Amino acid sequence: MAGQILLTLLLLLVVVVIVWKFIAPGEQFLPGFARLLTAPTIRRGAFSFFSGRSYAIGKLQDRDVAVRLQLKRSRYGQGYLVLAVRTSGEPMLDYDGIDARMRDDAGRQALFSIAAHDLLLSVEDGWLKALWRPQGFVIFPGRFSEEKWRQVLEAMHVVATSLDAAA
């Protein structure tokens, strides 16, 4: 009887460790991202572990930045990341509209850099937004890559600056 209880507890511990190995990288992603921002704040709701949703806000140079991380929490759910950089340009634009307004080389190079990271761009309500929703067999969001996400944020800043200049 005691051996059976011990075996059950051991199996439960193994399951918890395996589940934690899959969840832990997602929980560490947002704090890594927040380190790229000035005066960052991470916001998680009371039930964020269950919903998988958390936010970070801060600044990049002179612009407000907001990050939303949605971890996969259901069988058919999908994880995604939205980066938003404040712009004073157009209220609504899709990628083609953004591309049409890029008049400088720096803006065009930044657009190419963002597209190379499989991000979808749009402008909504004064925010330049980049959506990352990887497809296929990917453990989302994976390990945080400071170099990759710094490049993305800097490119978004350049695009936002170009959009402001074109407005």
What percent of the chain stands above pLDDT 70? 83
What pTM was computed for the model?
0.78
Instruction: Please indicate, yes or no, if residue 17 is contained in any of the structural domains.
Output: no
Q: What is the CATH number of the domain that holds 58?
A: 3.30.1460
| Number of domains observed in the structure of the chain | 1
What length does the chain have? 167
Instruction: Please indicate, yes or no, if residue 149 is contained in any of the structural domains.
Output: yes
Strands 92-93 and 38-44: unpaired
CB 47 within 8 A of CB 64: no
Instruction: Please indicate, yes or no, if residue 59 is contained in any of the structural domains.
Output: yes
pLDDT digits (tens, 9 = 90+) for 16-58: 666 555 555 556 788 888 999 999 999 877 766 666 788 999 9
